[in-house]
C-alpha cells in the first residue's frame, strides 16, 4: 500500500507574499514544498498585493475563521486621475479627471469613510452572483451590479503625498473590507477618480511583518535535501494556537478539558476557575488551556460552557483516557 499523500504537519507559516501570484498559488506551492496533507490561507491577497499572508497547515486550518475575522492593517498608494475596471493597476482605464485634491481636502473626507460603513465591492472580486464569480462575469463582458455590503473600517491615516498624483494611506479594518473599493471611494469623495497602485498588508490578526518570511527564505528545492534532513521542514512553523492569542484564556482542569474535547458541556458555576460574570455572554469566546497548552475554543451556549472549535482530540489525554461520552459525569443535560 502506498503512503498517504502528504504528512501531518501542524502550524502557521507567515509568508511575505510577493507581487504576481495569487494567494491560492502560494498555498499550493508551499503545501507541495512542505509535503503537507492539509493547508489553507487566512485572508486573500490580490495578485498585485504583497505582505502578510498567513498559511495554515493541519490543525491550524481549524483556526482560519478567526484569522479571517481578525483586524488587519494595510498601507496603500492611491493614484488620482484614472479610474480602472479592477480599481487597481491591472485594469483598463474607465475614466479620467484633472482634479487633484489637497491634503486638507483628503483629510476632510476620511471621517465619513471610517467606522461601520456600506461599501460596494470591486466588480473584479471573488464574490458569487447567481453561482458565478464576479470576476468571471466581468472578464466575459457581463460586469454584475454588486450591492453595498457592511464593512468596518477602524482608521484611515494619510501618511504622505509623494506628489500631486499620489497619496499613501495606512488603514486598519475588519473582515471583508476591500482596499480597492476604499481607494476608489476616497478619490470620488474628493471630487476626482483614482485607483490603487501599491497595496501591502502589514498585519493580519496577531501576525505582522516581523513574523513573515519571503519566498527566498523558505527552502523550496527538495532536490537539495540530504538524507538525514529529508524530514526537515523548509521553514519553522508557529504553533497552531498562535492565531488565538488575542482571545482571552480560560484555565481548565484535566477533567474539564476532557469533557470539552469529548463534546460535553459544563455548568459555568462548576468550573474550578470560574468565568467572570461580565463575560458569560453567549457571544464570548474563551481559549481553553491546560497549563500552557491550548485545547481549543469554547463558549457559553444555552447556559452551559461548550466547545466551539477544538484543536485537540481525545488522543491528547492518552490512550487510556475515560470515555466521557459513556459516564454519568459526562452526561449532557
For 93-136, the pLDDT digits (tens) are: 999 999 999 999 999 999 999 999 999 988 887 788 888 888 88
pLDDT for position 161:
98
CATH 2.40.50.140 fits 247-317, yes or no: no
**Would the pLDDT of 251 be above 90?**
yes
- The residue extents of the domains of the chain are 1-70+205-244, 73-203, 247-317
Query: Which of 45-59, 188-202, 217-231 is predicted with the least confidence, judged by mean pLDDT?
Result: 217-231
User: How high is the mean pLDDT of the chain?
Assistant: 87
Specify the pLDDT at position 95. Answer: 96
Half-sphere exposure in the Cβ direction for 329 (13 Å, CA): 10
What's the topology of domain 73-203?
Pseudouridine synthase (3.30.2350)
2-17: buried (b, 16+ CB within 10 Å) or exposed (e) per residue? eeeebeebbbbbbbbb
| Active-site residue, 136 included | no
The pLDDT confidence band at residue 155, using thresholds 50, 70 and 90, is very high
pLDDT at 134: 81
Domain 247-317 in the same topology as domain 1-70+205-244:
no
Of all residues in the chain, what percent carry a pLDDT higher than 90? 68
- Of the residues 46, 87, 88, 185, only one is catalytic, namely 46
At 220, the pLDDT band (50, 70, 90 cuts) reads: confident
Q: How confident is the model at residue 199 (pLDDT cuts 50, 70, 90)?
A: very high
Any idea which of 12-21, 37-46, 199-208, 216-225 has the lowest mean pLDDT? Answer: 216-225
- Taking residue 26's Cβ as centre, other Cβ atoms within 10 Å add up to 20
| pLDDT surpasses 70 at 224 | no
Provide, rounded to the nearest whole percent, the portion of the chain with pLDDT above 70: 89
Give the per-residue pLDDT at 10.
Answer: 93
Residue 329 has pLDDT above 50, yes or no: no
Q: 246 phi and psi, to 5 degrees?
A: -80, -5
Is the pLDDT reported for residue 283 higher than 80? no
Evaluate whether 134 touches 123 at the Cβ level (below 8 Å): yes
- Look at residues 104, 109, 84, 79 and name the one whose alpha carbon lies nearest to residue 94: 84
The hierarchical CATH code for the domain 1-70+205-244 is 3.30.2350.10
pLDDT at residue 218, as a whole number: 92
Q: Which residue has the higher pLDDT, 73 or 130?
A: 73
Least confident of 85-94, 158-167, 177-186: 85-94
Band of pLDDT at residue 282, cut at 50, 70 and 90: low
Instruction: Give the lowest-confidence range in 11-25, 79-93, 125-139.
Output: 125-139
pTM for this structure? 0.85
pLDDT, mean of residues 290-299: 91
Amino acid at each position: 500500500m502506498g503512503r498517504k499523500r502528504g504528512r501531518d504537519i501542524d502550524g502557521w507559516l507567515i509568508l511575505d507574499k510577493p507581487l504576481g501570484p495569487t494567494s491560492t498559488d502560494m498555498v499550493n506551492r508551499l503545501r507541495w514544498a512542505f509535503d503537507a496533507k492539509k493547508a489553507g490561507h487566512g485572508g486573500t491577497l490580490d495578485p498585485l498585493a504583497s505582505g502578510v499572508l498567513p498559511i495554515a497547515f493541519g490543525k491550524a486550518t481549524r483556526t482560519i475563521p478567526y484569522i479571517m475575522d481578525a483586524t488587519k492593517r494595510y498601507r496603500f498608494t492611491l493614484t488620482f486621475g484614472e479610474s480602472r475596471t479592477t480599481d487597481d493597476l491591472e485594469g483598463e482605464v474607465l475614466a479620467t479627471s484633472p482634479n487633484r485634491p489637497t491634503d486638507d481636502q483628503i483629510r476632510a473626507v476620511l471621517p465619513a469613510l471610517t467606522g461601520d460603513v456600506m461599501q460596494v465591492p470591486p466588480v473584479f472580486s471573488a464574490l458569487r452572483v447567481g453561482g458565478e464569480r464576479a470576476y468571471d462575469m466581468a472578464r466575459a463582458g457581463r460586469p454584475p451590479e454588486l450591492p453595498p455590503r457592511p464593512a468596518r473600517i477602524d482608521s484611515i491615516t494619510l501618511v504622505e503625498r509623494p506628489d500631486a498624483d499620489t497619496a499613501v494611506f495606512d488603514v486598519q479594518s475588519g473582515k471583508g473590507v476591500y482596499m480597492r473599493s476604499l481607494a476608489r471611494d476616497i478619490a470620488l469623495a474628493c471630487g476626482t477618480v483614482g485607483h490603487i497602485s501599491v497595496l501591502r498588508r502589514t498585519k493580519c490578526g496577531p501576525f505582522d511583518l516581523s513574523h513573515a518570511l519571503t519566498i527566498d527564505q523558505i527552502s523550496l528545492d527538495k532536490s537539495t535535501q540530504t538524507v538525514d534532513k529529508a524530514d526537515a521542514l523548509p521553514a519553522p512553523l508557529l504553533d497552531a494556537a498562535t492565531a488565538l492569542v488575542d482571545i482571552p484564556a480560560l484555565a481548565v482542569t484535566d477533567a474539564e478539558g476532557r469533557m470539552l474535547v469529548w463534546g460535553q458541556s459544563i455548568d459555568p458555576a462548576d468550573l474550578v476557575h470560574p468565568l467572570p460574570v461580565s463575560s458569560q455572554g453567549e457571544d464570548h469566546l474563551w481559549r481553553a488551556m491546560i497549563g500552557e497548552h491550548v485545547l481549543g475554543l469554547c463558549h457559553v451556549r444555552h447556559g452551559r460552557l461548550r466547545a466551539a472549535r477544538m484543536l485537540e482530540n481525545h488522543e491528547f489525554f492518552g490512550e487510556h483516557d475515560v470515555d466521557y461520552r459513556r459516564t454519568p459525569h459526562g452526561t449532557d443535560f
